[in-house]
Every structure is written in C-alpha cells, then in structure tokens.
Amino acid sequence: MKYVMIFHANLNYAYLNPDKYEFVIRNSYELTFDTMAENFPNTKYVFEASGYTIEQMALLTPDVLEKLKKAIANGTCEFMGSPYAHPMLPNFPQEDGTWAIKFSNDIFKKYLGITPKSFWNPECGWRSYVPQQVIDNGFRNLIGDFEAYSRSRLKNGQPVRPEIFEKEYSDDPAFYSFDFKYDLEGSERAIHFPFNKIEGYETDSLRMFLRTDRVCQFAVRHFMGMEGYSFEKYMDLIKKYSQQKPGEPEGALVIFADDAEYIGTNGWFRLKYQNKPDNVFEKTPESPEKLIRLVKEVEKLGEFITYDEACNKLQPLDDILNVDDDNAWHGARASTWASTPMARILRPWQDLVREKLHEVKNTLDDATVEKVWYHLTNSYNSDGQWPPTLPDAPHIIYPFNYQYCFENLLAAELLVGGVDRNKLTSSPIDTMKEILTIQQDLILNKADTLLASGTDDEKAAAKHAKVLIEKSRNLDSVSLSSDKILYPAEYTIRANMLIEARRLVGGVVLERN
C-alpha cells in the first residue's frame, strides 16, 4: 500500500487575525517543511495552499516560501492549488469560481513559478460544474470525499452505494457528522484507487482520489490530543484501511488531508470541538514528535507518494464517480455555508454587484473588470460567513473574517460605480441578533449563577460581563441608519464585547460532541 499526506494551508481561516499570520506560518507550515526535510529528506508529501496564503507567505516570510520552493524543486513536495480566497465553489455561479481559481494560479506562477496539477476543492463542496471549473484552469486532478460520494444517488435516484446510503444518509443539514454507522471494509477500493470517470465528463478529463473522514478526521483529533484518539488507534485505522484483496494491484490511502494548521498549532479546534473559545491558534509543541512518529511507522507499511502519483500511477476504477449536488465533506451540505446569517446578508449585495458588472463591463477596461472579479470573489471567503449559529452550536462569526468579505465587496461595488442598495431587503439588526443573541443569553445565565454562588472575584467578573452584554445588545446606532448592509465596525464592537464577557464568566458551551 502507498500513502498520501495532504496539508491544507489557509490563512483565510476562521478566528485567525492577520497579526498571527507569521506565527501560524512559522509554527505550522515552516515546522512541517523543516520536520520533513530534516527527518525524511526522501519522503513525499503534499502541501496545498490558496493564492491568498502563498501571497501572505511571500510578503511576511519569504524565507519560509523558499523552503517550500526547495521542497517542490527536489520532488519531495507536491504543491496543490485551491481558489484564491477559499470560497465554497458550489454556492456561486460557475463563472465566479473560475475567476477565483484563475487568481490563485496567477499567484502560484508569480511566487512559485508553477501551475499545480492537483486541486483542493474547499470543503469538498460539490456541484456538477465544479470539475469544469477545475479543468478550465488547467488542473488534471481533483480531491474528493468518500463520505459525500458514498451517500449520493445516481441519476435514476438509486443510491451509489446502497449499503452505506441506508445507514449513513441523512437530510439533517447539520454542519458536521462523523457518525459512521456503516462498518466499511478495510479493502474498500474507492479509497484505494483513483476515479477517471466522473458523471457528465469525458473519461480521463479529470482524475479524483478520495479522502475519508474515517481516517483523516481521526488524524486531526489525534494531533490535537483529544481523549480517546491515541496514536495506537490511529495506526490501527491506517492498517485496517490498508487491506487489499488478493490479486489486486497496489493501491494507496490518504492518511491526512485536513488543515495544515493542526500540525504545529491548534487552529480553532479547541473552540470547535472542545468548548474552549479562548484557546485558538496556540502552539502545540508535541506536533513535530507526533509527525515524526507517524511517518516512521507508516513507512514500515509502505512508501509515501504524491496526490498526482496516486491519481495517475495507480490503476483507475471502472466505476463512474457520482456526487449529489450540494454535498460537502464532514457529512455537510454546501448550502449550509450559504445559509448562515452573514452569508444571507452578503449574498443579495454580491448579486447586485455581479449584475451591475455584467451591465457595465463593456464600458470598463480589462484591468478594471478583472479587479472587480478579484474583489467580488474574495468576498465569497467561506470563513467570513462561518460557522452557523444554531441553538445547539451558538458560534459567532469572527469579526476580522467578516470584515475581509465586507471590504472586498465594497471595493467591487465602488469599481462598478455603485449599486442600488434600496433593492436590498436585508436587515443588519436582524443579522446581529441572530448571530449574537443565543450566546449573549448563555453568558447572562452563567453570570447570574456566578453572582448567586461564586467567589468575590467571580461575582465581580460576572457583574462586568453583564454590563458588556447589555452594551452589546444596544443597537441604537444601527437602527438610526437606513442602510441594509452590516458595517464591520458595528458588528466588531458588539462581537468583541461578547467575547470579553464570555471570557469573564469562564466560557460557555458552544458545541456538544
């Protein structure tokens, strides 16, 4: 069995401020490059990054970028590309996503001197035109998700994999589902061999090799030190899914294909999975040792190859890959990203700007048209509109990430000469209430508990927290305006008050797992 590791780097990351970019680059990306070069100089791996991420690396840490270029040049690292600002491709028109990928390719050529062969599709979001967007930008490989594939239907409505579909398919639009009710055989061919036949496309127009959360999500939790996710269990999973039937040609297995930030930092894992909202993007000193141990043990089982090699040097399957529109990884739907409060307030404005661009583009020079597309598609950044705010998961969208979307969209609007915002029916007040209220209530409830039975220090902190929450609920400045858009400052001030109040009461549960 061959093995593949893909480190997905994205500085357009939820809860990541620009003042921590260099910290993440050095403690995650550079750490990975150095660990592999010093300990495994001949071992292959894949590093994927958006155009935005590579551009920031070039500006902030050119020495780290040189390390990446050296690894690419000596053949140990395959560089995999993705759209410039990490948008969810299925949630916007085909033309828009094609532009977003082009802007990344421009950056890759400028700073790396290459056009990648393999493409990372953000969140593995699917719509029938996504493969065409990838093909149109010169890629020959596209990553896919086994769970999305195995829970999909054929054109006639019949499940692609009935035995899995029956146990794991759900209409629940939850944004994460790692409940694997079907005991997948270790010799599953769809995670060992590439597909060269994709529904609606000519054979070999694009090749896909599937990652699976059955292995990759366990990998993340192991690197984060989550209870119950030991190295021994991780290796047992790798060994289980390394099985092959007698007489089969040798296949491969993706053992890591998730956020690169989880090697070296904790990303926003503590917030997302462990209800520690104030512990994000901290250094994880144990990461190098864990990575070294993993590579050493896996190399006893077989050699590491690149994603391009997995797609093009292994025997392809005869099966046709069919994925339902709107699917995404982690058992989610692409439309979940499109239905968050921030997505719903931004989308009508984005649509007006796109409509105006098409109306006036013949009056604009090519450079301006391209600049409009650049800013418009940057406003699609998924983490600026994520995560959902739900009763059982009352997350809030991080202020900086939303600001990035807003400012790019405003720039696009100005370049097209403005739009008629009177056509908008969105409400910034309703949006802020939807995002902030659930968590505000939880903080107030905890503050009341501390006031009733806490220590003197806890009572003082709780009292201050209640004042901050009441101030964050004051929307008078917004109600006095007739604007239908939500200005970042209005949101940031209130969100930061909430975040500080949350810290003062010792945190609240944001997600149950």
Q: Where are the alpha helices (DSSP H) in 116-182?
A: 130-136, 146-150, 162-168
Average pLDDT of the residues of the chain: 96
Percentage of the chain modeled with pLDDT above 70: 99
**26: DSSP letter:** I
Does residue 207 have a pLDDT over 80? yes
Claim to verify: residue 282 and residue 394 sit in the same structural domain: no
pLDDT grade for 278, boundaries at 50, 70 and 90: confident
CA gap 377, 354 in Å, rounded: 10
- 171-189 burial, b if ≥16 CB within 10 A, otherwise e? eeebbbbeebebebebbbe
Cα–Cα–Cα angle for 134, 135, 139, nearest 5°? Answer: 75
pLDDT 10s digits, 343-357: 999 999 999 999 999
Does residue 512 have a pLDDT over 80? no
Claim to verify: residue 268 and residue 400 sit in the same structural domain: no
Residue 150 located in a structural domain:
no
- pLDDT for the residue 326: 96
Claim to verify: residue 440 and residue 349 sit in the same structural domain: yes
Claim to verify: residue 371 and residue 234 sit in the same structural domain: no
Number of structural domains (the chain) is 2
Residue 168 located in a structural domain:
no
Residue with tokens 């529904």: 199
| Cβ neighbours of residue 80 closer than 8 Å, sequence gap 6 or more | 6, 46, 47, 48, 49, 116, 118, 119, 120, 143, 307
Last residue within a domain, chosen from 270, 292, 311:
311
Closest alpha carbon to 5 in 250, 197, 290, 266 = 290
CA gap 274, 298 in Å, rounded: 28
Residue 70 located in a structural domain:
yes
Which phi and psi (to 5°) does residue 292 adopt?
A: -60, -45
pLDDT grade for 175, boundaries at 50, 70 and 90: low
Claim to verify: residue 271 and residue 386 sit in the same structural domain: no
Does residue 479 have a pLDDT over 80? yes
Beta bridge partners of 309: none
- Cβ(331)–Cβ(174) under 8 Å? yes
- pLDDT for the residue 171: 83
Does residue 200 have a pLDDT over 90? yes
Does residue 271 have a pLDDT over 90? no
- pLDDT for the residue 277: 77
Which phi and psi (to 5°) does residue 40 adopt?
A: -140, 65
pLDDT grade for 134, boundaries at 50, 70 and 90: very high
Does residue 117 have a pLDDT over 80? yes
Q: Which burial class, exposed, middle or buried, applies to 492 when counting CB atoms under 10 A from its CB (0-12, 13-18, 19+)? A: middle
Q: Which burial class, exposed, middle or buried, applies to 202 when counting CB atoms under 10 A from its CB (0-12, 13-18, 19+)? A: exposed
Claim to verify: residue 286 and residue 403 sit in the same structural domain: no
Residue 196 located in a structural domain:
no
- pLDDT for the residue 481: 87
pLDDT 10s digits, 317-350: 999 999 999 999 999 999 999 999 999 999 999 9
Percentage of the chain modeled with pLDDT above 90: 92
- pLDDT for the residue 296: 98
What mean pLDDT is predicted for residues 266-294?
91
Does residue 400 have a pLDDT over 70? yes
Q: Which burial class, exposed, middle or buried, applies to 109 when counting CB atoms under 10 A from its CB (0-12, 13-18, 19+)? A: exposed
Does residue 511 have a pLDDT over 90? no
- Cβ(269)–Cβ(498) under 8 Å? no
- pLDDT for the residue 284: 97
- Cβ(335)–Cβ(475) under 8 Å? no
pLDDT grade for 170, boundaries at 50, 70 and 90: confident
Closest alpha carbon to 14 in 259, 380, 265, 268 = 268
Claim to verify: residue 251 and residue 378 sit in the same structural domain: no
What mean pLDDT is predicted for residues 184-191?
98
> Could you tell me the CATH number of the domain that includes residue 254?
3.20.110.20
pLDDT 10s digits, 210-221: 999 999 999 999
CA gap 385, 401 in Å, rounded: 8
CA gap 28, 21 in Å, rounded: 10
Last residue within a domain, chosen from 275, 292, 311:
311
Residue 296 located in a structural domain:
yes
Claim to verify: residue 343 and residue 286 sit in the same structural domain: no
- pLDDT for the residue 174: 67
Indicate the angle between helix axes 51-60 and 94-111, nearest 10 degrees: 30
Claim to verify: residue 301 and residue 357 sit in the same structural domain: no
Does residue 424 have a pLDDT over 80? yes
CA gap 181, 213 in Å, rounded: 13
Claim to verify: residue 48 and residue 101 sit in the same structural domain: yes
- pLDDT for the residue 344: 97
pLDDT 10s digits, 54-111: 999 999 999 999 999 999 999 999 999 999 999 999 999 999 999 999 999 999 999 9
Q: Where are the alpha helices (DSSP H) in 74-204?
A: 94-111, 130-136, 146-150, 162-168
Cα–Cα–Cα angle for 392, 221, 18, nearest 5°? Answer: 80
Sign of CA dihedral 460, 464, 469, 470: positive
Does residue 173 have a pLDDT over 70? no
Q: Where are the alpha helices (DSSP H) in 262-340?
A: 269-274, 287-299, 307-312, 334-338
Does residue 434 have a pLDDT over 90? yes
Find the domain containing 229 and state its range: 2-144+208-311
pLDDT grade for 513, boundaries at 50, 70 and 90: low
CA gap 382, 274 in Å, rounded: 22
| Cβ neighbours of residue 511 closer than 8 Å, sequence gap 6 or more | 272, 273, 275, 392, 393, 395
- Cβ(475)–Cβ(483) under 8 Å? no
- Cβ(31)–Cβ(263) under 8 Å? yes
Q: How many CB atoms lie within 10 A of CB 318?
A: 10
**147: DSSP letter:** H
Closest alpha carbon to 6 in 54, 53, 45, 32 = 45
Claim to verify: residue 303 and residue 344 sit in the same structural domain: no
**Residue at 173: amino acid letter:** P
pLDDT 10s digits, 441-461: 999 999 999 999 999 999 999
Residue 104 located in a structural domain:
yes
CA gap 97, 93 in Å, rounded: 7
Does residue 252 have a pLDDT over 90? yes
Does residue 161 have a pLDDT over 70? yes
pTM: 0.97
Using CA atoms, how far residue 357 sits from 361, 372, 374, in Å, is: 5, 8, 12
